[in-house]
Structure 1
Amino acid sequence: MTNTATHTDPRPLYRDALTWVSELIDEVAADQLTLPTPCTEFDVRRLLGHLVATVERARVIGAGGEPATIPLVLTDIPDDGYGNAYRAATDRMWSVWNDDTLLDTEVTPPWGAVPGRGAIGGYLNETLVHGWDLAVATGQNAEAAPELAEAALSMARAMIPASPRGGDFIPFDEVVESSVDAGPTERLANWSGHSRKTSPGQ
């Protein structure tokens, strides 16, 4: 990702995205945990473990730590505990990021040193895109609030170049062409290289 970051405060958007994903997690049935998702790295269970990990990484980054100390996927969460784990991680994360000074403090997420607002923008994108993955995989409404998704899409287009992509610095697949009827959350997922074609029944 580039170091371009919005000059606004992305935390309210991130808060809304976390709430949306929390609601999606609560609706995942036990027999859906082994389903594939549009993110080919993860089935539903691993995606849930990754979603919790992203919030923990955001906390560690805000505290000045190294994100790699948190595994990419948390595997010690019981199958019926992902919702509670996600909410607990969110509470811990906000205990760090409620500090306004962090927005202009340099932090180091996996894509390189950026102001805090840039890190939150990155995790906003990841939250909504993986929320879309989860919703598509489990047959839920895959569109977040339009104003939330549109704002995140605008930020993503500024932060994530269309090309080149790949490697550790810009770890995204090629942009997917959106269908004419795609909503803003799906268009955000497509910009991040995610497609419905890898999900069940597609």
Structure 2
Amino acid sequence: MTTSTAQQIDPRPLYRDALGWVRGLVDAVPTARYGDPTPCPGFDVRTLVAHVTATVGRAQAVALGAPAVSRPSLIEGIPDTDLAATFARAVDDLAPLWSNDAMLDAPAQVPWGEVPGRGAVWGYLHEALVHGWDLAVATGQDAEADPALATATLAAVVRFLPAEPRGGIVPFGPVVEPAAGAGPTERLANWAGRRR
């Protein structure tokens, strides 16, 4: 996939599918495991779910024409027993906000700069899949999303997120060499600096 191809693809269905996958993972986690560590540095399961919920909120803000950073990067104050339902509501509320095709080419203010709306969706799609992988690995679930979904996302992300520089304003670690036989979701996580 070339950069121009990624710029022409509508990533909204891919993002919807990624969020559906993550939703299933979140729903399957017992609250007793919320304190477990994850491959995402500094995030236990609870914090990871709170963060991925917040990223959906940021995608909502962008859809409403506001800067993504007008929403927090981490939701707080939600009881453990309500966290999965809070994520599910955020996902349900998001899809209608992105229904206008013109939004894909409208400027969007995201933490990584001003990009067309489709660039914002690609970014949040990437985040959903990587954090889904984090959550699945941490909780012993199947860590591979639909292969076609992960493959398409990886092909776009390697063009939008270069291998260098990393750190600082680029909130990912150095690229990790994939293990033999790693699936596309794990390779996407490796590109974001994650390892099992």
Query: After TM superposition, is the score higher than 0.5?
Result: yes
Separation (CA, whole Å) in 1 of partners of 2:171 and 2:63:
21
Q: Does 1:195 find its partner at 2:172?
A: no
- How far off is 1:83 after superposition? 2.2
- Normalising by structure 1, report the TM-score: 0.92
* Percentage identity across paired residues of the two chains: 51
Partner of 1:118: 119
Written as runs of structure 1 = structure 2, the 5 A alignment for 1:68-83 is 68-83=69-84
Partner of 1:145: 146
- Normalising by structure 2, report the TM-score: 0.94
Letter aligned with residue 92 of structure 1: D
Structure number with the higher helix fraction is 2
- How far off is 1:41 after superposition? 2.1
Partner of 2:33: 32
Separation (CA, whole Å) in 1 of partners of 2:182 and 2:42:
23
The farther-off stretch of 35-44 and 70-79 is 70-79
When the two chains are superposed, the root-mean-square deviation of aligned CA atoms in Å is 1.3
- How far off is 1:12 after superposition? 0.6
Aligned residues: 193
Partner of 1:158: 159
Greater RCO, CA 8 A, separation 6+: 1
Partner of 1:194, secondary structure, is coil
Partner of 2:154, secondary structure, is helix
Partner of 2:81, secondary structure, is coil
Partner of 1:41, secondary structure, is coil
Q: Which runs of 4+ in 1 moved over 4 A?
A: none
Partner of 1:108, secondary structure, is strand
Partner of 1:16: 17
- How far off is 1:30 after superposition? 1.7
CA offsets, 1:141-176, max 9 Å, x none?
0000101110111011111001112222x2211000
